[in-house]
Structure 1
Amino acid sequence: MVYSVKTYNNINKIGLEKLGNAFQIDGDKADNPDAYIIRSENLHGVTLPSNLKAIARAGAGTNNIPIDEATAAGIVVFNTPGANANAVKEAVLTSLFLSARDYFSATTWANTLSGADVSKQIEAGKSQFAGTEIAGKTLGIIGLGAIGARIANDARRLGMNVLGYDPYVSIETAWSISSHVKRVNDLKEIFSQSDYITIHVPLTPDTKDTFNSAAFAQMKKGATLINFARAELVDNAALFEALEAGVVKRYITDFGTEELLNKDGITVFPHVGGSTEEAELNCAIMASKTIRQFLDTGEITNSVNFPNMHQVLDAPYRITLINKNVPNMVAKISTAVSEQNINIDNIINRSKGDFAYTILDLDETDKSKIDALVTTFEADANIVKVRVIKGQ
């Protein structure tokens, strides 16, 4: 079977090669493809094609995807956590150095000079850009995922004292973080003790405006705030007041809005934190692999709206179901299979929120029985999407 994949935002072509020969990229079926692979394309307000089974975001954030709408339509949404983590880590470390030494102002000033005695002018005026060192300073990290954990470890190696806050950190990530990084249980400790703060959490109703007036009121005077996560994590009105009061010395962000531009103490980058050649390739590879795995086998890895599901496909047929998470669904599925006199080789059913995903492997070679079973499933109002995958 040949699958159709529609891409947006110049996905790395070498990475797309991981889809394999059974995938047609931006081909004849691009208007109604089996899958999307996107980067920054905004899908909110866009009608999702009826044939669409999956969306892969070549990056970690999925705020540009209508997750609830996709889930209700039986579309599995993937991201690529960690694929651009090193790139963002390096961008944050660069921001630490830029803030400590104010190299932007220094180079801007140097380029205003002229005349035969430029070297003397530089020597006379350089003291205004003396800056500080980051060694011995305290860095507070909010969010200890793939990016935050890397920053924590490298900042420690640079001689910083590191505080980390993340009530949801995974066991795997926790093991990767240096024992010298102090885990704290209250954001107030991050705010009150940190010379530098960097945030790496998704945007949710709970994290929106993490940095608000109350947060800035608890902050150590003269702190630098670095935001390479999401613009809405910072309340700009409260930020401006904190800058005016000297609570925040500098705000560095990768998310520019008009109100942030050309303001003292604010450095805006054009959303390039994860945009290295290596990161774009890694994201494209991971997105392509997850889409290929899902369409070929029905297995799910790195989905944001459905649970991870893995099961070796060695039955003649596999049916995958996306269904509403209501009582007795597994029993109804099993009964429908039994009524077709089909033996179940294996079944997995896991839920996430209001929906569930089922992998149903069937020890049956009669395609007419499989087709009749599919018809039964499609007639069930609680089953949103049905797929049939032929075994090897």
Structure 2
Amino acid sequence: MADTAAPAFRILVLNQISENGLQRLPAGRYLAGKDMADPHAVLVRSADMHALQIAPTVQAIGRCGAGTNNIPVKAMSARGVPVFNAPGANANAVKELVLAGMLLAARNLAPALAFVAALDPESGQLEQAVESGKKEFAGFELAGHTLGIVGLGKVGCLVADAAIKLGMNVLGYDPEITVDAAWSLPAQVKKAASVTEVLKNADFVSLHVPLVDATRHLVNEQNIGLMKPGAVLLNFSREGVVSDAAVLAALGARQLGWYVCDFPDGKILRQPRVVALPHLGASTREAEENCAIMVADQLRDYLEHGNIANAVNFPSVSMARESAYRVAIANANVPNMLGQISTAMAQAGLNIHNMVNKSRGDMAYTLVDVDSPAGDSVLAALRAIDGVLAVRYLPDERAN
């Protein structure tokens, strides 16, 4: 007789997710779909979740991309729900689009294409019109010019490497560069001390930073005038990182040569010397697949084992299984939480085999392997501790 037991984990899918990514969630253990009642987790790309009623059963959210502006991260943190993303999975796709943006601007390709599209193919004067008109679109080569990069994460490092191979000089700035990024950054990149230094000295400036309070209008009315006359500003980061009003004023004053971005805001649409693309940064088959696979793997490791990698609101925590019985606890990062957790387990007669605790800002996360089953009473005692946000019991197949 067929096994009619419900899959262990129900995954709500809000966008079209790569099938190769969904296949990382085994059919015998997972059920994924767009109409999923009481889901344990959510997979999303661009759908806006701020207005959604997120079910109380949701234990994790996976964003198949880098940015999480479409997810109510703060509200999820208050519930003890990690929000995963896929940093670097679409980096090559964004890198290639940045290079395309530089070439579009340097060679005046957008107006050149518009000029050719407007020619009359039946006029009999096509060749003459092309030859007389092409001088209006003369540009310059990338080699020998300076690219300034603000934000040296995975994308920024790839852009820097590609620009150097094209013969460009690269000036980079990132006050929060990670150790991994520093190792992957080409040695030829000159380190800038500030955004101001980058703006003053680069022929092209490419932005690769998240949109947070500190980066909103990072390029603005006060500093855009520092750019070299005719310089090119590229924004494949987030719309709010650049002030549209500042861009329009700088373009009008001929201070800025071109603005190339991935966000067709109404204020800049159809403006001369603006190239606005329809959010194509991660829109390649390869990037969508890479993101889906990465997030699905992270989601599965969390749901089954409690491990956390690439959560934007939780610390990274990983612990190899040393017991069949595991408890995962999300809690506020306040004193004496570990003591209270250990006491509750000791009072229930549980011996702690192994434990790891990490914190990130206001959030802390604890994995505990115990030597015997954790019953409902101890789980209830843990949930009753002031500051505990979520408790999950994760026995593995050895517990059966």
TM range (shorter): over 0.9
Residue 25 of structure 1 is aligned with which of 23, 27, 32?
32
Q: CA RMSD, aligned part only?
A: 1.2
Residue 330 of structure 1 is aligned with which of 314, 328, 338?
338
SS at structure 2 position matched to 1:132: coil
Aligned to 1:378: 383
Alignment check: 8 A CA contact 2:325 2:395 kept: yes
Alignment check: 8 A CA contact 2:149 2:205 kept: yes
Q: Taking structure 1 as reference, are residues 39 and 27 closer, same or farther at Cα in structure 2, changes over 3 Å only?
A: closer
Q: Does 1:94 align with 2:94?
A: no
CA deviations 1:115-152 (Å, max 9, x no partner) are 12211221122111121111111110000001000000
Mark the runs of 5 or more structure 1 residues left unpaired by the alignment.
none
Q: Does 1:7 align with 2:7?
A: no
Alignment check: 8 A CA contact 1:349 1:357 kept: yes
Q: Does 1:228 align with 2:223?
A: no
- Tell me which amino acid in the other structure corresponds to 2:376: D
Aligned to 1:248: 256
Aligned to 1:200: 208
CA deviations 1:6-26 (Å, max 9, x no partner) are 112201112110112211002
- Tell me which amino acid in the other structure corresponds to 2:25: L
CA deviations 1:138-190 (Å, max 9, x no partner) are 11000000100000010000011110000111111111111111111121211
Aligned to 1:147: 155
SS at structure 1 position matched to 2:54: coil
Matches of 2:378 and 2:58 in 1, distance apart? 22
SS at structure 1 position matched to 2:118: coil
Matches of 1:339 and 1:112 in 2, distance apart? 81
Matches of 1:134 and 1:355 in 2, distance apart? 45
SS at structure 1 position matched to 2:23: helix
CA deviations 1:262-298 (Å, max 9, x no partner) are 1111111010111100000000101110011100100
Matches of 2:113 and 2:343 in 1, distance apart? 73
Count of aligned residue pairs for this structure pair: 388
- Tell me which amino acid in the other structure corresponds to 1:108: A
Alignment check: 8 A CA contact 1:223 1:247 kept: yes
Alignment check: 8 A CA contact 1:320 1:357 kept: yes
Matches of 1:188 and 1:103 in 2, distance apart? 29
Alignment check: 8 A CA contact 1:4 1:27 kept: no
Aligned to 2:56: 50
Aligned to 1:161: 169
1:229-378 equivalences under 5 Å are 229-364=237-372, 367=373, 369-378=374-383
CA deviations 1:86-137 (Å, max 9, x no partner) are 0000000000111000112112112222212211221122111121111111
Residue 104 of structure 1 is aligned with which of 110, 124, 133?
110
Matches of 2:313 and 2:362 in 1, distance apart? 10
Residue 63 of structure 1 is aligned with which of 69, 72, 88?
69
TM-score normalised over the length of structure 2: 0.95
Q: CA deviation at 1:371?
A: 2.2
Alignment check: 8 A CA contact 1:226 1:253 kept: yes
Matches of 1:248 and 1:305 in 2, distance apart? 37
SS at structure 1 position matched to 2:24: helix
Greater CA drift, 104-113 or 323-332: 104-113
Q: CA deviation at 1:355?
A: 2.0
Matches of 1:103 and 1:200 in 2, distance apart? 23
Residue 84 of structure 1 is aligned with which of 77, 84, 90?
90
Matches of 1:298 and 1:64 in 2, distance apart? 24
SS at structure 1 position matched to 2:267: helix
Q: CA deviation at 1:382?
A: 1.7
- Percent same amino acid at aligned positions? 40
SS at structure 1 position matched to 2:31: strand
Matches of 1:146 and 1:325 in 2, distance apart? 29
Q: CA deviation at 1:47?
A: 2.2
Alignment check: 8 A CA contact 1:252 1:266 kept: yes
Matches of 1:27 and 1:123 in 2, distance apart? 55
Alignment check: 8 A CA contact 1:320 1:358 kept: yes
Matches of 1:370 and 1:315 in 2, distance apart? 15
Q: CA deviation at 1:27?
A: 7.2
SS at structure 2 position matched to 1:70: helix
- Tell me which amino acid in the other structure corresponds to 2:130: I
Alignment check: 8 A CA contact 2:10 2:41 kept: yes
Mark the runs of 5 or more structure 2 residues left unpaired by the alignment.
1-6
- Tell me which amino acid in the other structure corresponds to 1:265: R
TM-score normalised over the length of structure 1: 0.97
- Tell me which amino acid in the other structure corresponds to 1:179: A
Matches of 1:288 and 1:45 in 2, distance apart? 24
